Amino acid sequence: MTVGALTPCGLLQLRNFVTTSVCNSIEIVTEMATDVIVIGGGVIGLSIARELALDHTVSLIERGRCGQEASSAAAGMLGAQAEAYGDDLFFRTCVESREMFPELAASLLDETGIDVGLDLAGTLLLSFSEADIAARSQRFAWQKAAGFEIEQLSAAEIRREEPFISTDVLGGFYLPKDGQIDNRKLVHALQRSCELRGVKLVEETAVDGLAVENGKVNGVFAGKEKFAADKVVLAAGAWGTEINAGFDLPFIIRPMRGQILQFRTAKQLFKHVIVGPRGYIVPRSDGRVLSGATMDDAGFDASVTNEATAHLIESTAEISPSLGALKVQDSWTGFRPFAPDRMPVFGRVPNAENLLLALGHFRNGILLSPVTAKLIANDLRGIAAVPTEFSPSRFYSAAMGS
């Protein structure tokens, strides 16, 4: 027996059949329905699709090739503590996600044979002036009191750990649990795992808008195609609110450009992720060292600017003069997805049934990818709604003045 539903365009939509209809004089081809459509094949969309594929049929629609945007541009820091500002739910969620990486990396290796370069050797925070020391002590003192591992180091201790760090260093902190992952290998492994789990990956296909009927989302439009689904997860990164939702969203996601330089040393000279007062370096095991990153409000302009290059060379040289003196081997930009209150936007939208958002990961999307997949899957499976702090409903309350 076939289950069908009549749509306003006069289309008999049949599950598991491709059908054709004429809507507003455009011929619409409806693809086979899946339980879930994920829009966007970055680290967030891929992580969610991989998780949901355990008990759903899933299609993931990506405008270009999977993982080529912010998720490849990132430095791959797992800086739950290094990038924290206070002991709040966001911080705790970052820590929870960081703790998920050893199991995730092992499971991806097992499934796909891809080693995602998880390195939890710790992160060093450096100070080069009395003002840096005071600012860092103020910013990180609460972590020890809250029971998180953080050690204060003298300049001599830091240079013993990392001999190529500047002799101007005055001291710093060591965060033994923060680390890094090779984010490009991570997205590659997630994509392969999605394929192995039966996710239908539809690349080179841009979603134009959501298909909404009577306040319920039942698919997406891409050109002349409609992809039908029971649920839609919007994970299109910095472009998340550029897609025509068919209803008002009281917030927009904006791109926050980040620029990175890559240096290369003959062998790995640094053991840790190292955060200076004006930038950070992330050493990869093959001798590459990433130096990042700027934060520019420049729309979707993907240029690497002379000004940013000069700034990053200077911030690298402050951390390590010998590294900063090397030739820049490569450089690139990426667009961090930035919500108005800097917080992620997860979960259901009040005025659109069957739609979940996974947007606004800003500086921490690689770090937050496993926990995002868990939170979205728990919500979609009816196990638990995402915490209200992350829910899009916060913007609806603000818009209504409550």
Taking the complex as a whole, how short is the minimal distance between the CB of residue 362 and ligand GLY, in angstroms? 7
Name the segment binding ligand FAD (CB under 6 A); options: 51-59, 72-80, 124-132, 162-170.
72-80
Place of tokens 């990042």: 292
- The nearer residue to ligand GLY, 293 or 386, going by C-beta atoms, is 293
Distance CA 111, CA 192 (A): 9
- The nearer residue to ligand FAD, 66 or 114, going by C-beta atoms, is 66
**Looking at 356, 364, 374, 377, which residue binds ligand FAD (CB under 6 A)?**
364
- Give the CA angle between residues 352, 358, 361 to the nearest 5°: 140
Distance CA 182, CA 111 (A): 17
Does residue 41 bind ligand FAD (CB under 6 A)? yes
Closest CA to 86 of 144, 165, 142, 39: 142
Size of the site for ligand FAD (CB under 6 A): 42
**Looking at 56, 348, 363, 374, which residue binds ligand FAD (CB under 6 A)?**
363
Does residue 75 bind ligand GLY (CB under 6 A)? yes
Which one of ligand FAD, ligand GLY, none is in contact with 70 (Cβ closer than 5 to 8 A by kind)? ligand FAD
How far, in Å, are 32, 120, 125, 157, 401 from residue 153 at the CA level?
59, 18, 9, 6, 48
Taking the complex as a whole, how short is the minimal distance between the CB of residue 14 and ligand GLY, in angstroms? 45
- The nearer residue to ligand FAD, 361 or 374, going by C-beta atoms, is 361
Closest CA to 44 of 392, 402, 360, 390: 360
Structure tokens of 12? 């008999």
- The nearer residue to ligand GLY, 77 or 232, going by C-beta atoms, is 77
Which one of ligand FAD, ligand GLY, none is in contact with 232 (Cβ closer than 5 to 8 A by kind)? none
Which one of ligand GLY, ligand FAD, none is in contact with 45 (Cβ closer than 5 to 8 A by kind)? ligand FAD
Binding residues for ligand FAD restricted to 270-309, rule: CB under 6 A? 292-293
Beta-bridge partners for 259? 333
Name the segment binding ligand GLY (CB under 6 A); options: 75-83, 139-147, 148-156, 189-197.
75-83
Which one of ligand FAD, ligand GLY, none is in contact with 237 (Cβ closer than 5 to 8 A by kind)? ligand FAD
Binding residues for ligand GLY restricted to 328-387, rule: CB under 6 A? 336, 363
Taking the complex as a whole, how short is the minimal distance between the CB of residue 290 and ligand GLY, in angstroms? 10
Does residue 41 bind ligand GLY (CB under 6 A)? no
Backbone angles phi, psi at 259, to 5 degrees: -115, 140
Distance CA 118, CA 178 (A): 11
Which one of ligand FAD, ligand GLY, none is in contact with 281 (Cβ closer than 5 to 8 A by kind)? none
- The nearer residue to ligand GLY, 37 or 368, going by C-beta atoms, is 368
Binding residues for ligand FAD restricted to 198-217, rule: CB under 6 A? 206-207
Does residue 98 bind ligand GLY (CB under 6 A)? no
Which residues bind to ligand FAD, rule: CB under 6 A?
Answer: 39-45, 61-64, 68-71, 73-77, 206-207, 235-239, 243, 258, 260, 292-293, 334, 336-337, 361-367
Residues of this chain that bind ligand GLY (CB under 6 A): 75, 77, 83, 258, 292-293, 336, 363
